[in-house]
Amino acid sequence: MLDFCRFIWDKIKPRRKQLLVMVLKITINTASPEAQEHQEQFEDEAQKSVEKNLQLQQTKNTMKIEQRYLLFLEYDRKMDELSIKNMFLL
């Protein structure tokens, strides 16, 4: 049962995990002491997942910036080659 719960938890999107954790907090506050023990574990997993996704997004953004810069350098190099060729043609 726990494996199935972890499987479902891994499939939930990060934003929905945050909402689910808020609902669980409300539910757990009125639940048994045993359920309250697991509350922190769910909160930690949700926070780790959000942080991981944020790091992945930042990495993707960095890669996009690097790709654009490399494209610009390639474009600049080709423009230099063309200008040199044009100078010799004149």
pLDDT attached to residue 86: 76
pLDDT of 1: 59
Sign of the CA dihedral running 27, 33, 39, 40: positive
65 token code pair: 């910036």
pLDDT at 74: 92
CA–CA gap between residue 13 and residue 11 (Å, rounded) = 7
At 4-23, the pLDDT tens digits run 667 777 777 776 767 677 77
Predicted pLDDT at 56 = 87
Q: What pLDDT shows up at residue 15? A: 67
The C-alpha atoms of residue 70 and residue 62 are separated, in whole angstroms, by: 12
Instruction: List the pLDDT tens digit at each of the 90 positions of the chain.
Output: 567 667 777 777 776 767 677 777 766 666 566 666 677 777 788 788 888 888 888 888 888 889 999 999 999 988 888 887 777 776
CB contact burial 26-49 (16+ within 10 A = b; e otherwise):
eebeeeeeeeeeebeebbeebeeb
